[in-house]
Structure 1
Amino acid sequence: MRVREILGFRSNSLASRLFLSATAWVVVVLLVTGVVLSSVYRSASERAFDRRLNLYLRTLIAEVTAPDEPDDRQFQSLGEPLFDLPLSGWYWEVDRTDPGKAETRASRSLWDKKLPKLVDQGIALSSSGVRAGYVDGPEGQILRMAERPVDLGADGKFRVAVAGDASEIFDETRAFDYYLGGTFAALTIGLLLTTIFQVRFGLAPLKRISDAIADIRSGRAERLEGEFPVEIAPLAWETNALIDANREIVERARTHVGNLAHAVKTPLSVIINEASAHEGDSFAAKMLEQAGMMRNQVAHHLERARLAARLTVIGTVTDVAPVVEALRRTMEKIHRDRDITIEVDVSPGTKFRGERQDLEEMVGNLVDNACKWAHSRVFITTSVRPPSGVEPAMLHITVDDNGQGLSDAERMQASQRGRRIDETKPGSGLGLSIVTDLAALYGGRLTLDTAPIGGLRAELLLPSA
């Protein structure tokens, strides 16, 4: 499991991106700071070690420049027992560099070994006239060495060198790195916890708005309610204003659709009435035929316009069980003379994300169609399909009948507007077309298949709340 999922951040969310960027920034800053501090401490340790070496170096130079004869100089005044302990890691060496007068005096700790020369390694003199650097010593030791040339004129030229075990520097630096790493690890954890707290609680108002909008879409709320921070409050106000404006536009659209319906249907009714008064006239019959087609077309398109306007209303949710039960009772009364049995199996708690009258129209058309074709039995079932990667949770409604069913070609034609498979059955042929169009407006679909009980199965998928 990834870190952001463990911490409760959604993948690719703003919170996860802020957390990851803050984490990366903290880690980079602490790493750079740690490297710089470690380097500074190592330099400070080297300077402290060099001061100790320079102290011994000045003591040796004082012995070299003493007025005694060279052979009488004992070099016994350094005061460091490690110079007497063989191969202790602390050494001094004095070489006479006059041509033809090679002479070397060294500490007892150096035993029969010799110290390398810094001048041979290309290390230049510092402003104080001293060379300093790391060299390989006896027994594989790494030494920090200070070396200085001394010119006494007629008394000769000398190279005075002092070396100490550099493991003291490395051990001190390593211990400092351990303490620094532990401190920075604790600091990193503290900063990350602080970042998590700031991200989660700082973005909490945005999460509240997201949840509130989800409640509005699912019908549990109508507006964004509650107090929001000053930075977020304008977003809540504008969202509420957008919802109000949407409702106002939809209401105006409904009014216009109603006005248009009255304006068109009235002249059509006059034409049909006038044509009906001349029954025997072939022209009147043609007028009746065409006016009937116009009425169906107008009714269909006005219905689509009305439904499209209603679909833009946010936050409407309908319980499925009461709608299906009411339709069952109504259809049993309508088809009482045919002795049709309508069975219902509705999953508890199923809800449709839309208006009740739209659900009634879709399911009503399907049930009415099934009752017209059934021999004796209609079966209605509802369930909710869980969300998948391609679509949200969907309401699944099936209407089966035990009629003669439809062939594949007839099922293809059945949902076409105004197409009637059997002219002996009552209706305009618009029922399945209206269901198909309305389901599509909701983002759903209608499919026709063979029912397990022998007739036609109509499967309706709609958004579930």
Structure 2
Amino acid sequence: MGFSPKNRSLTKVVLLVSNTVLLLALAVVGLVMAQAFKEKTLHIVKERLESYVEALLPDLEIIEGQLVFPEQLPTPRLNQPGSGMYAEIIAVNEYWHSPSAIGQNLPKAVRVSTNQRLFESPLEYQGERLFRLSQGVEIESEQTSELVTIILTEHAGNFYEELWEFEETLLSWLLGISLFLLVMQWLTMVWATKPLKKLTQDLALLEKGDSLIFSENYPTELMGLTSSLNRLIANERNHLERQRKTLGDLAHSLKTPLAVIQSELGTDESDKDVIQQQLNHMNEIVAYQLKKAAVAGHRTFTQGVPVIDLLDKIIQTLQKIHKNKNISVDTQIAPGAIFYGEKGDLLELLGNLLENAFKWCDQHVKVTIKTLFVEGRQRTGLKINIADDGPGIPENKRLVLLQRGVRGDEKVLGHGIGLSIVSDIVDSYQGQMAISEDEQFKGACFKITLPP
């Protein structure tokens, strides 16, 4: 039966991998420390035997053609029989051993060449472990020279028992440290995954409707996720609310024309012109509300739309339509300005505002688009200003144009339903729109802020 990835526990996987790596690392550390201790101890033994060899050399000489062996030994152990430290000197025709070797059965001595040094550790002999250092030297006199081999042998004694005690102590410490680290790692994992468990609980509350958004009490690493989810939830709820309002507006707007048609049909002589007029009115209302419902609104996860490409196409189209007016368009767009939303929304927003500007201007239209930065947000927003040198909009009518929920049957002088669509789009992106008088052209200036 296969193990499905969706059933894996993140905590268990992390603990399993990290604990395995930790135990392997501690095992490697233990082996390295044990090996280093053993090599260092053996090195000390070798250096001690080498020092004894060097101490024997000055008393080893040739006098009147005879090899004279040392009488003064470098350590008292060489004078004590069975002390565990033995010295041997092998010449071509002669052999000498220290008093400590009397009655001892030692491994067969092996001659080595001049200046050759051989350290055997351990040397297994008759069930015992020995350390043996063999050094080849050439003893010279005025008449002759002789090659001899000096051999120092030492019982390993408690060396390997002590080494095992060290390894056992090291193993105990490593096991204790491993257990401590495993417990600490488990506690750390439990503590670190608490926010994820809280996130799961908050999701459950959202599903049951007990909570509207995620709380802000999360670690920094999760704040980006929860903030994005909060914006996503808010956007979807706003979108649903707009859809409900649109259906309500549509139903309310159709009541009057339907009542007129019903009234006409209830008479003996129906006025077809009145019915047709009401039907046309209903078509306008439906078209407007469908257009209004098509506003996608702010989206948390969406691909950015480059503003300059879309703006250039709109301006080129409008200049062809109004080519007789010879309109001059001044555009100032921040490099890399991006609209994070539906392309159709940006097309409606810029298209309606620029269409009004081209319609009411004399000869000049100015478009300024800046990038809006907000701390804590990776995306950027937009600041859009569209001005013209036309007659402008009276101050007492500006608030009427910016009212929410303007229906298709409410006609604002000179501006139709386009600004209502623009207002809905701006609202859907949690933005702001203001109307003022342009300082340069003295005409209408629409100022729109779209946050990231």
TM-score range, shorter chain: 0.3 to 0.5
Task: Provide the TM-score with structure 2 as the length reference.
Answer: 0.48
Task: Provide the TM-score with structure 1 as the length reference.
Answer: 0.47
